[in-house]
């Protein structure tokens, strides 16, 4: 169901782009915005493994508890062994990145190694390897490209109106254009965040299957959420927040609409309702 939901959301995001393109920039404007957004996101997608690890000062390891857990998961799931990195952060968290399973990196903070049991760590890293297996970095990059194109369209239309270069169609309504400039980027962001949340649910499910027990991941999520609530990770780049297994940025209420992560309580509830493999 999460896969179907992702496809539906990606289709919706495409429809928003087509609609916004027709209203704000025409077919040519939409194509230009899409090419611009794709160029901006391509570098991020292709070099994400090196850029993000360097950003958080990660160091690669080829032995030790974290490496052994990832190696066990890869053997269970017949997956290519990724690079394994440890981040010098006391706040417990983890993420996966890389453009495909053959160029993947999984990383965990020093804090996560300090508070989780081996079984819980197995559940967390299985979640991350599920992201790798299902190419969620690619899905997220496509969603970011579509959403970025819509945002660029809105900015282009705004500047066109300011400098008098807007569309001269007889059917165009200035109020409609203004509403589209405001609402289209918000709608795109909401759909993009919904796609991210859907992939988190799917990674939880896939991680439970890879690790052999959904309850170990549920227990780990409970510990991680408590630790991140008490002491959030410092100096987090918002552009990378969606990659972590629990949201390193705090925010609730209205902000939860724009969250890249579903509520941890709901994730735990779904995991605990799953049978053991």
* Per-residue model confidence as pLDDT tens digits over 228-242: 988 888 878 777 888
Q: Are 37 and 152 in contact (CB under 8 A)?
A: yes
pLDDT at 51: 80
The 94-98 sheet, strands edge to edge: 59-61, 83-87, 104-109, 94-98
pLDDT-derived band at 40 (thresholds 50, 70, 90) equals low
Q: Are 193 and 36 in contact (CB under 8 A)?
A: no
Q: Structural domain boundaries of the chain? A: 2-272
pLDDT-derived band at 145 (thresholds 50, 70, 90) equals confident
Interval 214-223: pLDDT, tens: 999 999 999 9
131 appears as a binding residue in the annotation: yes
216 appears as a binding residue in the annotation: no
Question: ∠152-247-205 over CA atoms, to 5°?
Answer: 100
155 appears as a binding residue in the annotation: no
Q: What are phi and psi of 233, to 5 degrees?
A: -65, 130
Interval 4-24: pLDDT, tens: 777 787 788 777 777 777 666
DSSP 174-242: HHHHHHHHHHHHHHHHHHHHHHHHHHHHHHHHHHHHHHS-HHHHHHHHHHHHHHHHHSPPSS--GGGGG
CA-closest candidate to residue 255, choices 237, 270, 238, 234: 238
Active-site residue among 128, 170, 225, 265? 128
CB atoms within 10 A of CB 136: 25
Active site residue 128: yes
């Amino acid at each position: 169901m999460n896969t179907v939901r992702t496809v539906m959301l990606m289709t919706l995001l495409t429809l928003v782009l087509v609609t916004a393109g027709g209203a704000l920039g025409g077919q040519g404007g939409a194509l230009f915005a899409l090419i611009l957004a794709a160029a901006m996101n391509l570098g991020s997608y292709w070099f994400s493994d090196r850029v993000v690890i360097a950003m958080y000062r990660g160091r690669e390891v080829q032995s030790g508890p974290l490496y052994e857990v990832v190696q066990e998961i890869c053997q269970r799931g017949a997956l290519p062994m990724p690079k394994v990195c440890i981040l010098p952060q006391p706040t417990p968290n983890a993420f996966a990145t890389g453009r495909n399973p053959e160029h993947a990196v999984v990383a965990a903070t020093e804090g996560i190694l300090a508070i989780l049991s081996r079984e819980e760590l197995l559940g967390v890293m299985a979640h991350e390897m599920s992201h790798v297996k299902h190419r969620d970095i690619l899905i997220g990059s496509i969603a970011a490209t579509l959403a970025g194109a819509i945002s660029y369209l809105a900015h282009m239309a705004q500047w066109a109106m300011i400098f008098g270069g807007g569309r001269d169609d007889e059917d165009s309504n200035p109020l409609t254009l203004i509403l589209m400039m405001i609402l289209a980027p918000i709608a795109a962001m909401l759909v993009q965040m919904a796609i991210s949340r859907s992939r988190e649910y799917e990674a939880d499910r896939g991680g439970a299957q890879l690790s052999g027990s959904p309850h170990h991941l549920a227990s780990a999520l409970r510990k991680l959420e408590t630790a991140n609530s008490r002491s959030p990770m410092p100096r987090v780049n918002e552009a990378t927040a969606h990659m972590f297994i629990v949201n390193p940025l705090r925010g609730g209420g209205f902000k939860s609409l724009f969250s890249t992560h579903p509520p941890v309580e709901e994730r735990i509830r779904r995991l605990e309702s799953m049978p053991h493999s």
